[in-house]
Structure 1
Amino acid sequence: MQYDNLIVAFESGIATVTLNRPDVRNAFNEAMIAELTSVFRALNERDDVRAVVLAASGKAFCAGADLNWMKKMAGYSDDENRADAMRLADMLASIYRCNKPVIARVNGDAYAGGMGLISACDIVVAVDSAKFCLSEARLGLIPATIAPYVIRALGEQASRRYFMTAEAFDCATAYRLGFVAECVSADQLDETVQQLAATLCANGPQAVKACKQLVHDIAGREISAALIEDTAARIAKTRAGAEGREGVASFLEKRSPSWRV
C-alpha cells in the first residue's frame, strides 16, 4: 500500500494511517482525499487488521482544505463543485463506515475539514495543547459535508454555536463537550492510543464490528417494539455464532479465547 500523501504501517493487528503533508499542516487536497478513501476501503476488507489509528505527521493534525485546492475549486462549475464535494463526502463515509474501530491520534490543531476527519472516527485521543475550530463561516462557507459527523460527535447545541461563530476552542473544552474521549499530555499520547488499540484487539473481532454497527443502527431511534425485537435477534445470533460460543467457553474454562492466542 504505497501512497504519496499518507504513511501506512501495520503492527500486531493495528494499522496506522498517517497524514503526511506536514509542510501544509496536513491540509487535504483531491489526491489525499482519494488516498484516504482508498486506504480505508482496503482496510475494511482485511481480516488481519483489528483496529485502525488515524494519525498525522508534524505539529498539526489537519488544517482542513489545502489553499491551492480551494483556489482551483473557485473556478469549478456547479457540476464540478458537486462532484468534488461528493469525493470528500465519500472519504468521510469510508472512515465512518469502516468495520474496524478507528482511533484518532490528534497530535495538534484540527480545523474545518480536519474536525470532520476526527468526527468520523470512533475514539478521539488528543494532546492537551490541540485547538479545534469549525472555521468555514469566516470564509463565507458552511461545514456542510462534515456536518453529519461533527453534529453526532460534538452535539447539536455546541455545533450550532461553533458552526456560526467559527471560534477556536481548546482540548479541555472538546473533552467537556464529549468530542474528545481522552485529553492527554504530549508524552502520554502514544501510550494512551496504544493502550486503547490493544484493548480493542483483545476483544472478539466480530463482536467489535457488530458493536460498532449496533451503535450506527440504533442511535437516535425510538425504543419501539421493532427495535426491541431487532436487538433480541442480534444477541441471539451472536450467542449462537462461533465467536460467541468460544468466548463463553473460554470464560467458563478460565482460558484465553482463540482470538488472543
Structure 2
Amino acid sequence: MDNFNTLELITDPRGFATLWLSRESKNNAFNAQMIRELILALDQVGSDPNLRFLLIRGRGKHFSAGADLAWMQQSAELDYHTNLDDARELAELMYNLAKLKIPTLAVVQGAAFGGALGLISACDMAIGADEAQFCLSEVRIGLAPAVISPFVVQAIGERAARRYALTAERFGGQRAREIGLLSESYPAEALDHHLEQWIDNLLLNSPAAMRASKDLLREVGHGALTPALRRYTENAIARIRVSPEGQEGLRAFLQKRAPNWQAESNNKEPRR
C-alpha cells in the first residue's frame, strides 16, 4: 500500500483492510492533510477487487478528537470561499465513505468528537468501548456539525441528533449503542477480542453478496413501496442468483459444504 503521513492502510491476507488514523500525538485529530489522505486511501480501497470489507480505527488512546485546533485556527483566518473549499473536501470524504462498495466497520476507543462522529456514522457498522466518549462538540466553539449532519441523522435519528448537536453533551459507549451510533459496545479490554469475532463473521459471507446487499439497501433507503423499487428488488435477486458466487453458495448449501470464499480465507494466515 502507498505511504501516508497521517494514516496507515494495512491489508490482511484474509481479504480485508484496516485504515488506521495515525496522528497519535494529536489524538488523531483531522486536518486538511488527513482529510485529503483519507479520500485517497478510500479511492485505493475501492479500486482493490480483492478486499471484502474495511475497518477504520484510531492509533493510540483515542479514535479521533475531531478537528485539529491549529487547522481550525487557520480556517478562522480564511475567507468564505476558502472555507467553502475546505467544507467540500470534508464532504467528499464523508460521501465517498458512505458510498464505498464494500462493508465498513468503525472500531472506536477513547474520544470521538466532532467530525469523528461523521466518520463513524458514514460507516455501515460501528463497535466501541463502553468507556469511549462521544460528543458533537461544535456548538461549544461557535460552529455547527454541518457537513456530517446527514450521516449523523441517518445513524441516530433526528430526535437524538437534535439533542446532542444542540447540547454538546458527552455520552459513553453504552448510550451510543442505545441510540444506534454503535452496533455493539464492549469493555475496553475486550474490544479487540470481539473485533476478531466480527471479522470472522464477515469472512463467512460472500464478498459479491455483501457488495450487492449494500447497493440494494442504498436503493431501498427508507423502504417506500414504489413500483420502481419493486422492479429493482426483483432484478437484484435474479442477478445475484445467476452470479458465480450466488451459484457457488447455493451448490455449497445443497451439498452441505463450505463455499469457496470461506475456504480461501481459512487458508490464509492473518498478519500480526
- State the TM bucket, normalised to the shorter chain: over 0.9
Q: In 2, distance between residues paired with 1:50 and 1:207?
A: 10
**Structure 1 unmatched ranges of 5 or more:** none
| 2:138 matches 1:136 | yes
Q: Please tell me the residue identity of whatever aligns with 1:247.
A: G
The one-letter amino acid of 1:204's match is S
Question: Matched residue of 1:234: which SS?
Answer: helix
| Residues 85-104 of structure 1 aligned to structure 2 (within 5 Å) | 85-104=87-106
Do the aligned residues in 2 keep the contact of 1:51 with 1:197 (CA within 8 Å)? no
TM-superposed deviation, 1:226: 2.0
Distance 1:245 1:94 in 2: 31
Structure-1 residue corresponding to 2:170: 168
| Number of aligned residue pairs | 261
State the match for 1:17 in structure 2.
19
1 CA distance for matches of 2:103 and 2:222? 20
Where does 1:77-226 land on structure 2 (aligned, <5 Å)? 77-226=79-228
Counterpart position of 1:241: 243
SS in 1 for 2:57: strand
| In structure 2, C-alpha distance between the alignment counterparts of 1:10 and 1:58, rounded to whole Å | 19
Name the counterpart of 2:267: none
Aligned match of 1:34: 36
Q: CA deviation at 1:201?
A: 2.0
The TM-score with structure 1 as length reference comes to 0.97
Q: Could you say which residue in structure 1 is the equivalent of 2:62?
A: 60
Cα distance in 1, alignment partners of residues 9 and 120 from structure 2: 18
Q: What is the percentage of aligned positions where both structures have the same residue?
A: 38
Structure 1 residue 198: Cα displacement: 2.2
Partner deviation per Cα, 1:190-249 (whole Å, 9 max, x = no partner): 121222122212211110011112121112241122212211111111112111111101
- Give secondary structure in 2 for the equivalent of 1:110: strand
Corresponding residue of 1:5: 6
**Paired residues of 1:103 and 1:193 also in contact (CA < 8 A):** no
Amino acid at match of 2:25: D
Contact 1:200/1:208 (<8 A) preserved: no
Matches of 1:60 and 1:121 in 2, distance apart? 18
- Tell me the amino acid that sits aligned with residue 208 of structure 1: M
Q: SS in structure 2 opposite 1:18? A: strand
Letter in 1 for 2:262: R
- SS state at 1:208 partner: helix
Moved over 2 A (4+): none
Partner secondary structure for residue 76 of structure 1: coil
For 1:99, what is the secondary structure of its paired residue? coil
The C-alpha deviation readout for 1:10-51, integer Å capped at 9, x for no partner, is: 111121111111111110101100111111111011122111
Provide the secondary structure at the position in 2 that maps to 1:49.
coil
Residue 17 of structure 2 aligns to a residue whose secondary structure is strand
Q: Is the 8 A contact 1:153 1:179 kept in 2?
A: yes
Structure 2: unaligned runs, 5 residues or longer = 264-272
| Cα distance in 2 between the residues matched to 1:232 and 1:191 | 39
Helix, strand or coil at the partner of 1:83: helix
Q: Alignment partner of 2:258: what SS? A: coil
CA–CA distance in structure 2, aligned partners of residues 59 and 258 of structure 1: 38
RMSD between aligned residues: 1.1
